[in-house]
Chain A
Amino acid sequence: MYRISMNKKLNRLKKNIIKDKYLLILAAPILIYYFIFHYIPMYGAVIAFLDFTPGYGIWGSPWAGFRWFKEFFQSVFFWRLIFNTLTLSVLSLIFSFPVPIIFALLLNEVKRKNLKRMIQTVSYLPHFISLVVMVGILSNFLSPTDGIVNQILRKAGMEPIDFMGESIWFRPLYIGSGIWQSFGWNSIIYMAALTSIDPNLYEAARIDGCNRWQEMRHITIPGLMPTAVMLLILAVGNLMNVGFEKIILMYSPATYDVADVISTYVYRRGILDAQYSFGAAVGLFNSVVNFILLISVNRISKKITQIGLW
């Protein structure tokens, strides 16, 4: 009985392969790419459990067990790092996730084609500014001695503020500049989703006497929902990965208490101090947390909205 079903399955597989051979050939390069560049390198994660020494290589270095994980969990900064990482990314998510959606909805209401296109282009230009330049602009504009913002403050009779050196300003600056840089670009996907909404729906609504507000509320927003939820799930899966390049550029010892996150800590210890195994262990921990977050959010979303990644 068992063998028969196995044979059946194999036969079906063979048939399917033959049937879909062109699709498979089309998909092959991508699959091979992911296998070579994203799966094979994963074996390097094993150095998280080794006392990695360059000359001995991965398989010659002695095992260290969970030593690096223990070291990380016992670090006095463990909770601060977790807290900062989560705070920064949750706040970023809360503030920056709705912006492109709102922007896309607003833009959708602009009826003049040229104006619409111009606004869109202007809004996503900041996306192309490199982070280094971005942070350079920030620190020049906000400099307490000659930055334009502080000059205005001074003219208004206020004390200059050391924006880049004060802990309380770090999060607003990080998130605000992030929104400025990315909302236009991120709205593109919503704009695309909007075009896929059936115009007949709007027509029907208008015949039924809907005003534009009601159209948006009952047609446009539900039409955007699947895209929004999926992007949200993906974003949650990346909660533990905050944009560490930007933080490295923005922070200084004066703002470590809010700005130091897991990835910057890994950078300082793993790369600058060349403690590869330690860095790998913390990185692995980070990925596992992300993995768990992603899976659970996907589950929850499937239960509630029936929308999921798989």
Chain B
Amino acid sequence: MKRLNVKRLARDRQKGNMAGKTRYICLLLGTMIAFSFILTGCSGSPDKLNGNANDTPSGIPLEEMVTEEYELPIVKEPFVLTFATAENPHASSSYTSNLPAWQELEKRTGVTVKFEVAPSDQYNTTMQTRLAAGTDLPDLIRLPGDPIRYVNGGLIIPIDELIGKYAPNIISLFKERPEVKKAMTAPNGRIYTLSAVVDARSMVNLNGLGMRKDWLETLGLEEPDTIEEWYNVLVAFKEQDPNDNSKKDEIPVIAINTNGLYKLAWSYGLHLYLSEGWYPNEDGKIVYEWIEPRMKDWLQEMNKWYETGLIDPDMNTQNRDKYTAKAIGDVAGASVSDMTMQFPQWNERMAKDYPHARWEGIVPPEGPYGDRIMEREQPTENTHYAITKDCKNPEVVIKWLDYMYASRDGQILMGNFGLEGLSYEMVDGEPRFTDFILKHELGSGLAQNVLGVNGNFPRILMREMIEQRFLQYEGEVAQSNKATQYYVPSFPRVLATKEETDSFIRIMADIDTYKDGMVIKFIQGKESLDKFDQYVKSVKNMGIDEAIAIKQAQYDRYMRQ
């Protein structure tokens, strides 16, 4: 019996319970505290760290600083730069395996890059822990989440003065695209991070809606242009067997989760999809659109669709594979969860079994009050690259970044076209993709990744690149471009102060949990829309006004910059 006891005790401690002899725990706690004070002696005190949030910029506007031109190679002696980022989107071509574009970059700059990568979906969790430990950081890092958190601890260093001194190409980027600079400017006016500039794609590959145009033809229907017409078309899809297999297996609208449906709220003038419901009204006052009366109208419509069986009932739980299987399995009529360039790719995959299938982009429908908008992507990606406090030679790193991120040659090599002779040729002084990219069996996007081009690092996407990649879908591109006339900017990307983040998360964690639950329940009819007013009241009681004030302050700051 006695022996059994010991075993049990051990097991139960393993589970994190502190059951056992409390007296000893007190003793141990004492030891531990003493022990940790010894540890304190080793770590540096925060005051010594540079990059406090209260630092002031040097006074001279960045655009007017005199920059030194640098020559290639940037370094004469071998230089190793450590760079932590998420793994290549084409995971079997790991960044750590010295990909061709990176070899070329090393040849040109003299800087050897040593990668520390984690798979994209685990990157943030992994790197957060690493940054929380705060020692032995790589030189350059893709930050897991909000930059200011790391500014405050002095883990990342300001780079504005470095840019001013050593990075002529980044300066000219800032001059040409002030909104890009704004998106990277911290609340204290300094710059700590660089982000990829990606909005070139939003004119070609849209975050839009798609429909089976051939089904419309089969059923003799017009392309729907209003929410009401959409409803009628979708009902026809459901009832009239457009895939002609004598089974009612059609799912009129497929989605991966509720997010896709938010695109349909564009017809109600709501900016839920990219701006997450935060948007200024005409007077520049921020509105939380989730509790606006228009929201109720939209929910009513979605509820009607859901009850009629127009919306994919698997929406809550399915993953992308299952969603794609439906899209190319000739059972789905419209898609709300994809980019428009996905559609021609689906058509290719369906060509063998369903030669008539034709997915195409479609303009967002007009709503009952005449609203019709489409949120446009922000200029920069929501990922931030920063130089850490452990970087020995920030000067070289910033020059290297200047070259690979912002110079024309660097943009062509790393962000867009890759290697001359292999993935592109120069025609009349302009780069042109070769068949290596355009006819690659993995598709043009992954073909770039195979070379290490256009991935998880600071880059600027060129419009020519996007256009050429989708050149083969010329008709489709023209089709999607019709939708761009409805573009409105989405809520600007503004860096938040630590206080703002803390309060915002405190309020919004609860509101989001509540709101997400209620929205899906309203749509699925598990909660009657009569309760909408009560929902609005609850959200207000949970302190939405304070959150709105924070967003307002951020928006005003952005407008002032």
State in angstroms the CA–CA spacing of A245 and B169 once bound together: 47
Of the residues B8, B134, B506, contact of A234 by C-beta under 8 Å:
B8
The answer to whether A257 and B517 have CB atoms under 8 Å apart is yes
User: Bound state CA distance, A55 and B141, in angstroms?
Assistant: 15
Number of interface residues of B (CB under 8 A): 72
Q: How many A-B residue pairs have CB under 8 A?
A: 165
Find A291's partner among B18, B49, B128, B313 (CB 8 Å cutoff): B18
* Chain B residues within an 8 Å CB radius of A59: 36-37, 39-40, 43
A-B contact pairs, 25 of them (CB 8 A): A35-B28, A39-B32, A43-B32, A43-B35, A53-B149, A54-B155, A58-B36, A60-B46, A75-B509, A76-B514, A76-B541, A139-B318, A145-B251, A164-B316, A165-B313, A167-B526, A238-B15, A241-B15, A254-B517, A254-B524, A273-B509, A274-B144, A287-B17, A290-B17, A310-B19
Within 8 A of A (CB), among B490-543: 498, 502, 505-506, 509-510, 513-514, 516-517, 519-521, 524, 526, 538, 541-542
Whether the Cβ atoms of B19 and A294 lie closer than 8 Å is yes
Cβ of B489 under 8 Å from chain A: no
**Other-chain residue from B39, B314, B513, B526 in contact with A143 (beta carbon distance below 8 A):** B314
For the complex, what is the distance from the CA of A40 to the CA of B389, rounded to whole Å?
A: 28
A50 to chain B, nearest CB (A): 12
Cα of A273 to Cα of B13 in the assembled complex, Å: 29
Interface string of B1-24 (1 = CB under 8 A from A): 000110011111111111111000
**B538 partner residues in chain A, CB cutoff 8 A:** 76
**Nearest A residue (CB) for B523:** A254
Given contacts A53-B149, A77-B510, contact A39 B28 (CB under 8 A): yes
Q: B509: which A residues are within 8 A, CB to CB?
A: 75, 268-269, 273
Identify the closest chain A residue to B498 (Cβ).
Answer: A53
Secondary structure of the B contact surface, majority rule: helix
Of all chain A residues, the one with the shortest Cβ separation from B14 is A38
Q: Which residues of the partner chain A approach B517 to less than 8 Å between Cβ atoms?
A: 253-254, 256-257
Does B485 interact with chain A (Cβ within 8 Å)? no
CB of B152 closer than 8 Å to a CB of A: yes
B19 in complex: contacting residue of A160, A167, A237, A276, CB < 8 Å: A237
Does A57 lie within 8 Å of B17, measured CB to CB?
no
Q: Quick one: closest A residue to B505, CB to CB?
A: A273
In the complex formed, the residue of B with least CB distance to A260 is B513
Bound: A298/B516 CA distance, A: 41
**Taking the complex as formed, is B375 at the interface, i.e. its CB lies under 8 A from any CB of chain A?**
no
Residues of chain B within 8 A (CB-CB) of A75 are 509-510
Does A252 reach chain B (CB closer than 8 Å)?
A: yes
Interface residue ranges of B24-56 to A (CB < 8 Å): 28-29, 32-33, 35-37, 39-40, 43, 45-46, 49
A269 contacts B505, C-beta separation under 8 Å = yes
What residues of chain A lie closer than 8 Å to B149, measured between beta carbons?
53-54, 274
Is the beta-carbon distance between B16 and A287 smaller than 8 angstroms?
Answer: yes
A276 CA / B502 CA spacing, docked (Å): 11
Residues in A neighbouring B5, C-beta threshold 8 A: 309-310
Please give, as numbers and ranges, the residues of chain A lying within 8 Å of B187 by CB-CB distance: none
CA distance A35 to B212 in the complex (A): 63
What is the bound-complex CA distance between A293 and B13, given in angstroms? 15
Q: Does A79 contact B (CB under 8 A)?
A: no
Closest to A30 in B: B10
Q: Which residues of A are found within 8 Å of B46, using beta-carbon distances?
A: 55-57, 60
CA distance A251 to B133 in the complex (A): 31
Over the window 61-76 of chain A, the binary record of Cβ atoms lying under 8 Å from chain B Cβ atoms (1 yes, 0 no) is 0000000000100011
14 extra A-B contacts, CB within 8 A, seeds A52-B132, A76-B510, A145-B312: A42-B32, A43-B32, A43-B36, A54-B134, A55-B389, A58-B36, A75-B509, A77-B513, A144-B313, A230-B4, A253-B316, A253-B517, A287-B18, A290-B17
Interface string of B381-403 (1 = CB under 8 A from A): 00000000100000000000000
Which chain B residues border A275 with CB–CB below 8 Å? Answer: 502, 505
Asked whether, in the complex, the Cβ of B45 is within 8 Å of the Cβ of A60, the reply is yes
